[in-house]
Amino acid sequence: MEKTIDEPPTSAVLLEHCSFSQVVFSSVEKFYVPGGDVTCYYSFTQQFVPRRKDWIGIFKVGWKTTREYYTFMWVALPSDLNKESTKQQEVQFKAYYLPKDDEHYQFCYVDQDGVVRGASIPFQFRPETEEDIVVVTTKGKVEEIEQHNEELLQENQELKDSCASLQKQNSDAQAELQSKQEALEALQSINKKLEQKMEEQKACWETELLQLKEYNQKISSENEKMGLRVEQLQAQLSTQQKEMEELVLRDQDKTEQLQRLKNENSQLVLSLTEQKEQKMKLEQTVENMKKKETMARKKQQELKDENFALSRTLSDNKIVSDVLKREKEKLERENDILKKENNRLVDYMGLHSDSSPDQTQSSDQGAGRQNPGLVYGNPYSGIQESSPPPSLHAAVHADKVREQTPKKQQMQISCLNCPVCGEVFPPTEEQVYEDHVFCHSL
Ligand SMILES: [Zn+2]
């Protein structure tokens, strides 16, 4: 409870256990003259230690709480407590602040906690009456004693009243204290609960704080990682951008190339069309050539057939020729023999007669006579054979004819004519002839 300079510390609690006797007031007058300053004398018992904000108040008798003071003064602290504790202290109340009525008042010492530590006997602010003085000065001892006794009784009655009120105050204060203590206990239990809760909350918060710290560390490490990753990604991005630029350049090149290729392609398509036309023409030409070839083949086949027939004829003729050759050789040998015989006969005749100029003729004649002696008749002189034996000249002539005629026939038979170009080949070169004819079919 904060207090201003003008407001002393007070308390609703008035009476503490055995606290009224800790400060003792002395030399308290019954009457103080109004308009004059009042000096209050007091002293501390040994167990009491005054404090800085203790004060002394003037209370109307019958007060219930220390808040009901009329006026007050701060207590001056003694410089050395140990020595001067028992020494008499004093405080002066200025006349201006004192009560102006003639009620009963008393001094009370209140410590800085608002607890009353001592109380004085009651007094009044009024001049002493003439009566009192007269009683003291003019009446006899009995009256004086009676008067004093009456005063004492009155004082006693007042003190009793004061005591009763104080006791009442005490019981009220104790009841209040009881309720306050109960309230305090309740508050303490609430406080304990709150403290427990607070500790629990504190533990909870600490674990939460730890978790948050760990989380924070995680987050910061992740953040670092993310930073690294971002740098990597940025590097990657820049390389990819470069690649992209290269690709764009390449794309442009390719596009140009493509354009060129398209142009080339269109040219090629044009040339292809031309070539197709040419091809068509060529195909037509080929078709014509094929037809011609087929015709040529047919013709060749015909020629081959003809050739084959001619070859067969030729081989037949060859056989005949061989036969004739052999016959000729035979005839030549016979002729030789006849010649020899003729010579022998000539020689023989020469021995018996002169040699005649037609010796040769006779020998020829002899040979002609020998002719019918042939084993096989001459096939080319059938007419001469059927005729009567010729004369010597005729025989010679026949011989000449016989020699000439077969030759011609032989030439006609054995010579080989090319059916295509008409070239003539001797019969001995039959192979050459066949190759030549074959060449035309190629
Ligand atoms: Zn030919």
What is the average per-residue pLDDT within 25-48? 89
Ligand 1 midpoint to CA 316 (Å): 23
Ligand 1 midpoint to CA 410 (Å): 22
Please give the Cα distance from 165 to 62 (Å, whole number): 6
Helix (H, G, I), strand (E, B) or coil at 124: strand
What is the average per-residue pLDDT within 301-328? 93
Ligand 1 midpoint to CA 426 (Å): 14
**pLDDT > 80? residue 138:** no
Count other C-beta atoms under 10 Å from residue 27's C-beta: 11
Ligand 1 midpoint to CA 439 (Å): 8
The reply to whether 262 falls in a domain is: no
**pLDDT > 70? residue 80:** no
Angle of helix 392-414 versus helix 359-370 axis, rounded to 10: 60
Domain extent for 420: 293-350+359-441
Helix (H, G, I), strand (E, B) or coil at 113: coil
Ligand 1 midpoint to CA 309 (Å): 17
Provide CB contacts within 8 A for 429, sequence distance 6+.
416
Provide CB contacts within 8 A for 390, sequence distance 6+.
368, 384, 397, 398
The reply to whether 241 falls in a domain is: no
Last residue of a domain, one of 109, 127, 145: 127
Angle of helix 141-352 versus helix 392-414 axis, rounded to 10: 180
Ligand 1 midpoint to CA 436 (Å): 6
Last residue of a domain, one of 106, 127, 148: 127
pLDDT band of residue 233 (cuts 50, 70, 90) is very high
Ligand 1 midpoint to CA 434 (Å): 10
Last residue of a domain, one of 86, 106, 127: 127
**pLDDT > 80? residue 97:** yes
**Burial class of residue 345 in the structure, from the number of CB atoms within 10 Å of its CB (0-12 exposed, 13-18 middle, 19+ buried):** middle
What is the average per-residue pLDDT within 123-150? 71
The reply to whether 390 falls in a domain is: yes
Tell which wins on pLDDT, 276 or 358: 276
**Mean pLDDT of the residues in the chain:** 82
The reply to whether 170 falls in a domain is: no
Ligand 1 midpoint to CA 311 (Å): 15
CA atoms within 13 Å, Cβ hemisphere of 184: 6
The reply to whether 122 falls in a domain is: yes
Ligand 1 midpoint to CA 75 (Å): 174
**pLDDT > 50? residue 1:** no
The reply to whether 435 falls in a domain is: yes
Ligand 1 midpoint to CA 431 (Å): 13
Q: How many domains, in total, are found in the chain?
A: 2
Ligand 1 midpoint to CA 441 (Å): 10
Ligand 1 midpoint to CA 437 (Å): 6
The reply to whether 415 falls in a domain is: yes
Convert 291-303 into a string of H (helix), E (strand) and C (coil).
HHHHHHHHHHHHH
The reply to whether 237 falls in a domain is: no
Ligand 1 midpoint to CA 428 (Å): 17
Tokens for 267? 């040219």
**DSSP character string of 38-68:** EEEEEEE-TT----TT-EEEEEETT--SGGG
